Amino acid sequence: MAELRWHPLIQDWVMINSNRQNRPQMPKDWCPFCPGSGKVPDDYEVLKYDNDFPALSQNPPQPDDVANDFFKVRPSYGKCEVILYSPGHHTTLKELSDEHMRKLVDLWAERYADISKDENIKYVFIFENRGSMVGTSMPHPHGQIYGYSVIPKKLQLELQSAQEYRKEKGNCLFCDMLKAEQDFGKRIVFENDSFTVFLPFFTEYPYGIYVFSKRHISHITQMTDKEKTDFGITLKQIVGMFDTMFDKEFPYMMCMHNAPVNSGDVEEDFHFHVEFFPPLRSANQQKFNASSETGAWAHCNPRCPEETAAELREAYDRYKNSL
């Protein structure tokens, strides 16, 4: 079973893929992403790897015979790739050189451009799940890319909000948001020539930072040579900051928000950014999405953003001083 099913209450498609339930547990002494496994080259730095158990496929099976006048289904068309950050099984982003990080950014941009060529793909989502707390079963450093045949609901809402804001104000919603954060200052964590890292005014997670490009670009392939280098360094420093926060590997979900593809002219309205969703609210406490967050989408942040931004700045300073 692999198909998309329509959720009429929220007007969104849900991926149904029971085949992923059959993913095997990897032996503790073997990793398919390590050189010598027979699954990857013996010599690589960063690598695109087609997902062995994809939720989406460019040759999807026919949906199950469960549709009728009310229940809608469509094929689970799309693309699922794994992006390997390093051949080192326990290597973390903060340990990679600036040059290595640049190669990773180049690979992300290359894959974004290539997947976008498929006109049936409407959104290319680059992301990383880090740590067992967010369900990662494979410790080898990696992220993923999904190419969806529909624009996911959250991205629809972001684009709609930006379009409405431009119609009302004549400006980019994201650019004005970044300026407001910079003017206020207290939630800025760090920045460089190309990117600003901050804890948003409205953040749902105690350490849920955003990364905004200072220049208005809509997707990763529009970055200049310097911006690509700065982007890799920014992500590396974020991971170093997070790990320094509680002196342990910090779990997170990293989500890159590029503009939708093959969906008309949206580049003026959409602004490239990255959202982090770390599930910790302190060194030993997890921030759960309970009934209010899950059932009503009514988020509650148990920490004050201005206070946690100060904690992040202190962790960033400690990380930088340790280099």
Give 204-216 pLDDT, tens digit per residue: 999 999 999 999 9
Residue 256, strand partner residues: 126, 274
Q: According to the model, what pLDDT value does residue 25 have?
A: 62
Q: According to the model, what pLDDT value does residue 28 have?
A: 74
Residue 29: pLDDT band (50, 70, 90) is confident
Q: How far apart are CA 314 and CA 312, in angstroms?
A: 5
Q: Could you tell me the CATH number of the domain that includes residue 272? A: 3.30.428.10
Query: Is 179 strand, coil or helix?
Result: helix
Confidence check: pLDDT of 165 > 90:
yes
| Residue 295, Cβ density class (10 Å: 0-12 exposed, 13-18 middle, ≥19 buried) | exposed
Number of domains in the chain: 1
Per-residue model confidence as pLDDT tens digits over 173-231: 999 999 999 999 999 999 999 999 999 999 999 999 999 999 999 999 999 999 999 99
Residue 253: pLDDT band (50, 70, 90) is very high
Q: According to the model, what pLDDT value does residue 137 have?
A: 80
Residue 1: pLDDT band (50, 70, 90) is low
Give, in degrees to the nearest 5, the angle at Cα 98 between 188 and 100. Answer: 130
Q: According to the model, what pLDDT value does residue 10 have?
A: 95
Q: According to the model, what pLDDT value does residue 135 have?
A: 86
**Domain membership of residue 296 as a residue range:** 2-322
Q: According to the model, what pLDDT value does residue 24 have?
A: 54
Average pLDDT value over all residues in the chain = 95
Higher pLDDT, 52 or 102: 102
Residue 18: pLDDT band (50, 70, 90) is confident
Active-site positions read: 142
Nearest of 298, 311, 301, 190 to residue 244 by alpha carbon = 311
Q: What is the dihedral of CA 112, 114, 120, 123, to 10 degrees?
A: 0
Confidence check: pLDDT of 249 > 90:
yes
Q: What percent of the chain has pLDDT over 90?
A: 92
Confidence check: pLDDT of 70 > 60:
yes
First to last CA, the chain: 50
Q: What percent of the chain has pLDDT over 70?
A: 97
For residue 136, the number of C-alpha atoms closer than 13 Å in the C-beta half-sphere is: 22
Q: What is the dihedral of CA 95, 98, 103, 105, to 10 degrees?
A: 90
Residue 19: pLDDT band (50, 70, 90) is low
Q: According to the model, what pLDDT value does residue 26 have?
A: 65
Averaged pLDDT for residues 114-139 = 95
Q: According to the model, what pLDDT value does residue 133 have?
A: 93
- Of 137-141, 213-217, 242-246, 293-297, the poorest mean pLDDT is in 137-141
Residue 274: pLDDT band (50, 70, 90) is very high
Averaged pLDDT for residues 226-237 = 98
Residue 166, strand partner residues: none
